[in-house]
Amino acid sequence: MKCFLLVSVAFFTATGAFSQQADCSDIFISEYVEGTQNNKAIELYNPTNQPIDLNAGDYKMGRDRDGAGNPMLLPITGIIEPYGTRVFVLDKRNPNGTGNEVPVDDQLLAVADTFLNPVYVQSFSPMYFNGDDSFVLVKGTATILDIIGKIGEDPGGGWWEPGDPNTAWWTEDNTLIRRAAVKKGVLSNPGVFDPSAEWDSLPANTFDNLGTHTCDCLIPESVSEFNEPELAVFPNPIAQGELSLKSNKEIRGYAVYSASGSLVTRREELGNVRYYSVALPEAVTGVYFIEVWFADGSRIHRKLLAR
Ligand SMILES: [Ca+2]
Ligand SMILES: [Ca+2]
Ligand SMILES: [Ca+2]
Ligand SMILES: [Ca+2]
């Protein structure tokens, strides 16, 4: 029996009482995919240096349908490793499905850690967000950890950047990625939801960034207990041709390659630094790969998106 959890808007619009939380201390939403058809996914990020057990912590998430003011919350399970993610995808997997049952994209099938909410029932359809439904992450019975959109508001088709003359919808047919500088979720219902404040907007059906997240919570001091090198590459997507590398191990050099494998830029001897700013040629846009090697001989590869 599914656990139904309908909580009144009065609780969700309460401010102050539950809004204290230190940076990098609990899970938040790192990516939101509202693509075409059934391509819907939510990525959660653990910004702490300890594993978090979603079941033990009583985490739940789901949508507030069309501004109803009563988010439908589905209990979630799984363990998220330190600085790791967990990807939840709408459970449409029948390859022969048609119409409302059309299966999600193969790339989503491949990257999902958990499939949720296979059957649509209007009164309890937490994962069937379609742009004008705020999405909420809750812990226990009374702690909001994050909100996309505004509970109790139907913005029309989707939320947009206030003042944008084109009013392009950010929460419908779009992928949203939390900026690296964001270190906790939105802890209380906003007066106005401005998606541009904390999110980067990518085209519909962009799935390449699911399964990893770059966050400033990962700093060398906080990962020094790891034996394996940890590397933060941010911002990603890259803005203005600049990105930063941060690690708990000494970085010796790096190389950036295009998606087709041609070398874009390379530095051999950085003098064993733990932090380095990389400048890319201005013309660089699209998908790239960076290889970083360390003083101890280990190497890490990461995918980059430049816009
Ligand atoms: Ca859609
Ligand atoms: Ca809706
Ligand atoms: Ca609407
Ligand atoms: Ca991601």
Q: Convert the pLDDT of each residue in 184-208 to its tens digit.
A: 999 999 999 999 999 999 999 999 9
Quote the ligand 2 centre to 130 CA distance (angstroms).
Answer: 5
Quote the ligand 1 centre to 13 CA distance (angstroms).
Answer: 27
Q: Whole-structure pTM over 0.85, yes or no?
A: no
**pLDDT at residue 2 in the model:** 43
Cα atoms in the Cβ-side hemisphere of radius 13 Å centred on 120: 12
Residue numbers in the chain where pLDDT is lower than 50: 1-4, 6, 8-9, 13-17, 222-224
The domains found in the chain, sorted by start residue, are 9-203 (no CATH), 220-306 (2.60.40.3080)
Contact 7, 143 (CB under 8 A): no
**pLDDT at residue 3 in the model:** 45
DSSP states of 100-145 as a string? Answer: GGPPPPHHHHHH-SEEE--S--TTS-TT---SSSEEEEEETTTEEE
Q: β-pairing, 242-258 with 273-279?
A: antiparallel
Closest ligand to Cα 172: 1
**pLDDT at residue 269 in the model:** 83
Closest ligand to Cα 174: 1
Strands (E), 124-272: 134-139, 143-148, 174-178, 199-203, 231-239, 242-258, 263-267
**pLDDT at residue 220 in the model:** 53
Quote the ligand 3 centre to 264 CA distance (angstroms).
Answer: 45
Quote the ligand 2 centre to 90 CA distance (angstroms).
Answer: 15
Quote the ligand 4 centre to 31 CA distance (angstroms).
Answer: 5
Residues near ion ligand 3 (Cβ under 5 Å):
132, 154
Quote the ligand 4 centre to 43 CA distance (angstroms).
Answer: 6
**pLDDT at residue 16 in the model:** 42
Residues near ion ligand 1 (Cβ under 5 Å):
173
Closest ligand to Cα 158: 3
Q: Cα–Cα–Cα angle for 239, 36, 163, nearest 5°?
A: 50
